[in-house]
Structure formats: structure tokens, C-alpha cells
Structure 1
Amino acid sequence: MKRYKWGVLHFTILIIFLVGCSSDEQKAFFVKAEDEEINHIHGAGYWGKGGIPVLATHEGLLEYQDGAWYKTTRNNHDYMGFQPTKEGFYSSGHPESGSGLKNPLGLVESKDKGESLDKLAFYGEIDFHYLGASYETGTVYVLNEVKNSEIGPGFFYSKNKGKDWVQLQLNGLTSSSVGGFAVHPSDDNTIAIYTEQGIFLSKNYGMDFSHIQTKGTITSLAFKKDSLIYSMIEDNQTTLNEMNLNNKMVNKFTSISFENQNSPIYVNSNPQKESEMMIVTVKNDVFISGNGGKEWDKILSNGETE
């Protein structure tokens, strides 16, 4: 009789445990983002099989699939310097409240869309606002603004996930201020930095740079395999352009226009399918194109999901 009662009790506890797991621990990591207002977008790109549009924000990650936005239900960190790669993504930034993680995050990597983070370097030391990576190789570049335990101020790259760092020599880079930079998706020796003086291009890991003069101020830039796409303000008008890396010929996209003071802050090309591109603007508008920029769809307006 006692054994029978113990078996019933044990079975009851097991049921309670399983119900608890189903309602809590097994909660979906991504859920549909309905009536969300996104105020701060800190990065954008394409991740996962085939390339899915993804945004890094002040309060976690969002991806766009089948005409809808989906948000993370936990690990909603403030991701800075967010860069998708073939294996997952690199990022820096600040942990969400109550996570138990040190602030700032330093350089972290995730291979499961943010469900877990691997602490690679400078954990609890540095928040990299300027971070780039080669999509195929995983080589990561950072602009370090404050001296830390391993490196001083300057541009550095690492080919082994932050274990060792090499400082860029920056020969030929004449500008004292940097707007941002991008790394080639497959040729990790190739990096482009944009400044108030135009674009500076290096093909030897930042040792030497050539200057590409532009007519206006660059606001964002990204690589395709054989070209650079960039947004530029000229005579109070913002344009989207593509420059051939071989002959430096420039093509202007006429299929999209931007309101005043709503210039792109991120432009992206899907490394798995270059005809797919994405633009994020100052006012948190997001546009995508699936046909090389001939047509554009607005998938986020003023940061508000439907």
C-alpha cells in the first residue's frame, strides 16, 4: 500500500515538472512581433539558411520571415556592432537587466541566433561600436577607442576569434575621423572605411589604403563580391549607389528615394544571394529588394511592426 501511494506521488510530481517545463523552459525563442515599436537599431544583415533579414536593437534581435517580424523572447541584449557570419554572428554591447552577464559584453559570438553567447574577448571590458567581419572566413575587425587589457586605441583584426590581434598600419588613410567600415564577405584582407573625405579601400589587411573620392558624404556602406554599395548625401539629396571594384564605375539606383534627414544608416547585401539587399534608415524604416534594387518593399515604417 505504501509503495502504491509513493508511486502516485512520484507520478504527480513528474506531471507538475513536465507542465512547468512546457510553459517556461520550452517557450519558443522567437515569437511574432505584433505592435512593436523599435526605437534603436544598432545593426542589420542576413543570417541563417538562405539568408533571412535580421535587425539588432537596443532590446534584442528581430528577424523577418514570410511577411512578418519575429522577436526573441529572452537574451534581449543591447547588441552593438552586430555582424552576421556564415556560422552565426559576432557582436558587442550590453547585457539585458537580470541576465547575470558582465557589462559590457566585449566580443561575443552566437551560433544559434542568440540563444547562447560565447565570450571571445574583452568580456566585461569593452563595448565595440565599430565592428566588422568577413561573412565567409569569420575574420573580425574592430575599432578600439579605449585601451584595454590587451590592445590600445586603433584598428585591429583577428583571424582566430579574438585570441590574437594584429593592428592595422593604415598607410594612406588621411582622415582623422571615421564614419564606419565594412569587410569583404569572402576576401577577408579587403576592408573599406568611409570618412568625410570619401572611401578608403585596402586589400592587404589595412596595411595600405587607396582613396576613392566621392561627391558627397557617405552614410553607410557594404560589400558585394565585386562591388560596393553605399548611400551618400549630396546637395541635401540622399542617393543609393553601387561602385564596381575593378573599374570604379558608379551606378546610381533610381528605384528608391529618401526623405530629408532620413538617410540610410545600414545597407546590406545577402552574401548567399546578392540580388537581395536591405536598407535601414535614420527614422527606423527598413526596405528590402529581391531583384538587385530594381524594386523595393518597405517592411518596417518608423520602427513599428504590424
Structure 2
Amino acid sequence: MWASGGHHGRRQWSHALPGPQAGLRQSAAPDGGGRGSSALSRHLLSHSADCEHTLGGYAGAMPSRRFSDRLPAVSPSFMKQPLRPALGAATAALAALSLTGCMTPQEPTLGPAEAPSSTWGHIHGLGVDPADGVLYVAAHDGLYRSTPDGVEGPVGQRRQDTMGFTITGPGTFLGSGHPDTAVDPDLPNPLGLVVSRDSGQSWEQTSLGGQVDFHVLRARGDTVYGWDSVSGQLLASDDAGHSWQARSDVAARDLAIDPYDPATVVATTAEGLQRSADGGRTWSVVAPSPLPVVVEWTDGGDLYGVEGDGAVLHSTDAGSSWDRIGDIGGSPEAITSQSPVPAAPTAADAPSADEAPTATVLHVAVAREGEHPSIATSRDGGRTFSEQALPDA
């Protein structure tokens, strides 16, 4: 169970939404307006306001040239296709809003020994390490472990701003963003793609150092997708991130990969959920409504999403239709899942816990105005949540 923390304590939203609402299916106007659209806009605007720096590029650290001009001459095995800097007007607008952190390099304001160990800035990513089942939180000021005994970190006393984050295997993490130069003076800024093979204790360069700042990273096996905030493009790798192709200009706030077919991927966008069946090269809008901000495709094939106002969505048909099943009580920042566990019986005549069907465990990072970010966890497939909130710094 989650440990209580600070004055926020634990919250339970068993009252959220008692059952599926089939009326969500394909119900919005084609322009994507209405409740979900405004909530998504508020969510993206609130995240852009979190950044303390301008979004004008890496001033002082990189020349203000076109991104493609900054790429060094590389062999086809390293960068299989040149990155293209162009963005359409609509995708550029969402790209600017979806920079959920500081795009410019930032020197740590506190040394590692001075860093507080019980708080984090806004949250960029979540992942569960299959080595020990611990939830890791990639935040603006470091990587943290969230355990039943509380929050530990930053891991390795490192204040790395890990913008993109995913866990690919026991103890193996992929990341992107900006280094803690006090700890890792030799890592480039932006990081490109870095890998940790010791659960975040140390990181080493894999590819695209100084060139790419992935704000979204997702992986299935050796297939890795990343949305680059510098070029506004979706990149893909089929060799665990050692070489890359630029696939498309989709302005993705989040991505999720089909567990059975890594060439099928969905993206949350301002136009609605979009799906690609060719590895992110071409996209089509699956449904203009609802508008999930974050999405998670579980190992069992269920697709979960959370809207900007906190409504939790569930789909069994790759996002073609959705049921609204719960609520996190705030705005989502990131989502991840764990393998199913036995579901608690819901009625007197329900089977015992040993015989009950299994339910996916969901972890969602929650933001509320004037409060520290927190983690909401559901052990019944997204219907109810309990929350671990952090104490004041």
C-alpha cells in the first residue's frame, strides 16, 4: 500500500464514476471541441507555464540554426534518414504547448548533497522496474523510487532532468533530457538517448547526444519511439536506440505501442487520438473524442487513457471506442501499468480473491494547482484510486 505523506495524505475516489458510459463513443463534433478539448488545452497550457525558461531553443549552448543544419555528417547506420525541421501550423502549436519542462539547459541550483530527498518538481514519466516491482518517477529534478515506505531519491544523488523516460527490462532504463553537470560533466546537453543498466544509478550515452531532446519515449522489445521537442518529429529505432529514422511530424503529447505489434502505435494529439499501423510513418484520427492526454497500452492489450480533467478511460479496441470508468481528481502528467493482480470482489456473491478475475494496476502522476504532484494508484483496472502525496519541501 502507498504510504501517506504530508498534509495531503491519502485520497480515495471510489465515487468517481460508477460504471461505463457508452455515450463517449464517437460522440464529439469533428473539430474536437467541447469538454475534452478544453480540458486538454488547459492541461497543455498549465504544463507550458511550469517551465521557468523560454522555449526559444538552446540559447548559449547550441547555435540558433535549423535543426537539420546542426546534425553532423553521420553514416546511414547511425541516422537512417535526415531529421526534417518543418512543422505544420497546427502541429507546431501543440508542440510548443506540450514542452512539459524546460527546453533550455539548466544548471542545478543545488549540489547533490544539498538536494532534498522527499520532493520532486513536475513529473515527466513513470515506470515499474520488473527487477523488484518498484515504481520509478522521472521528475524535473531527478529520478525517484516510490516504495511502500515512502519516496527515495534522487537516485544516484543525480539532479538529471529526465524529460523522456521508459523502462525496457530489469534494471534497464532509457532516458532523455538534460544532465546534472555537477555529477555527469561529460554527458552532452541535450542528452539525446541515454541508457542506465543499474536502475538509474548511472547513465551512459547511446545516440544523438547534443542533438535530440525526447520528451516522450516508449519501447517494446528493440523497437523504440521518441518524440523530439527540438525538431517536432517522431523518431523510431529498431535496434534499441542505436540508430534512428525520422518517421513523421505528428505532434504527440504521449505515445503507446501495441503489445502484439510494435508497428502499431497511438498518439494523443490536439485533433484526437491518432493511430499508425506502419511504425509512425502515417497517421489517422481514430476518434475526435474523447481527448486523452496520456495513454498506456498494457501487456494484456487493454488501452487506458486519462483526459486533462482527470477522467479515466478504457478501450478494448485500440481506441476506436472508450468507456469512462473512473477519475484521478486532477490533471495527469504521466501513466504506467503493472501486470494484473487478483481483483477484489465487488459483491457478496462474488468469487473469492483467489478465484476473482485479474485487474490491471495503474499508476498516474497527478497535478493540481497549488499542490505538489502526487501518484494515484488503482488496483482495480482504473475504477478507484488511492493516492500517495508528498510532504512540503
1:117-155 superposed Cα distances (whole Å, 9 cap, x missing partner): 231101233222232222xx03211223446xxxxx622
Corresponding position of 1:226: 301
* Worse-matched range after superposition: 114-123 or 153-162: 153-162
Question: Quick one: which of 334, 338, 357 aligns to 1:270?
Answer: 338
* Worse-matched range after superposition: 275-284 or 289-298: 289-298
TM superposition score normalised by structure 1: 0.73
Corresponding position of 2:199: 113
Q: Is the 1:86–1:138 contact (alpha carbons within 8 Å) kept by the matching residues of 2?
A: no
Q: Unpaired segments of 5 or more residues in structure 1? A: 1-32, 148-152, 171-175
In 1: Cα distance, 2:319 partner to 2:157 partner = 47
Shift of 1:187: 3.1
Q: Is the 1:44–1:266 contact (alpha carbons within 8 Å) kept by the matching residues of 2?
A: yes
Mapped pair 1:95 → 2:179: yes
Corresponding position of 1:74: 157
Task: Report the CA distance shift for 1:45/1:163 in structure 2 as closer, same or farther (over 3 A).
Answer: closer
Corresponding position of 2:211: 125
In 2: Cα distance, 1:76 partner to 1:272 partner = 33
Q: Is the 1:243–1:249 contact (alpha carbons within 8 Å) kept by the matching residues of 2?
A: yes
TM superposition score normalised by structure 2: 0.58
Q: Is the 2:117–2:152 contact (alpha carbons within 8 Å) kept by the matching residues of 1?
A: no
Corresponding position of 2:190: 104
Corresponding position of 2:223: 139
In 2: Cα distance, 1:228 partner to 1:212 partner = 13
Q: CA RMSD in A?
A: 2.8
Mapped pair 1:189 → 2:263: yes
- Amino acid paired to 1:285: S
In 1: Cα distance, 2:149 partner to 2:259 partner = 27
Task: Report the CA distance shift for 1:67/1:248 in structure 2 as closer, same or farther (over 3 A).
Answer: farther
Mapped pair 1:252 → 2:319: no
Higher strand fraction (1 or 2): 1
1:180-239 superposed Cα distances (whole Å, 9 cap, x missing partner): 222234532221111112111123312343422143432211112322111124xxx541
Shift of 1:83: 1.0
Aligned pairs (5 A) from 1:144-223 = 144-146=228-230, 154-168=233-247, 177-185=251-259, 187-223=261-297
In 2: Cα distance, 1:76 partner to 1:123 partner = 18
Corresponding position of 2:382: 293
- Identity of counterpart residues, as a percentage? 24
Q: Is the 2:118–2:152 contact (alpha carbons within 8 Å) kept by the matching residues of 1?
A: no
In 2: Cα distance, 1:35 partner to 1:61 partner = 11
Task: Report the CA distance shift for 1:246/1:124 in structure 2 as closer, same or farther (over 3 A).
Answer: closer
Corresponding position of 2:95: none
Q: Is the 1:35–1:304 contact (alpha carbons within 8 Å) kept by the matching residues of 2?
A: no
In 2: Cα distance, 1:124 partner to 1:196 partner = 29
Shift of 1:245: 2.1
Q: Is the 1:46–1:54 contact (alpha carbons within 8 Å) kept by the matching residues of 2?
A: yes
Task: Report the CA distance shift for 1:35/1:164 in structure 2 as closer, same or farther (over 3 A).
Answer: closer
Shift of 1:44: 1.0
In 2: Cα distance, 1:206 partner to 1:126 partner = 18
Shift of 1:179: 2.5
Q: Is the 1:69–1:305 contact (alpha carbons within 8 Å) kept by the matching residues of 2?
A: no
Task: Report the CA distance shift for 1:295/1:52 in structure 2 as closer, same or farther (over 3 A).
Answer: same
Q: With a CA cutoff of 8 Å and minimum separation of 6, indicate the structure with the bigger relative contact order.
A: 2
Q: Unpaired segments of 5 or more residues in structure 2? A: 1-114, 342-358
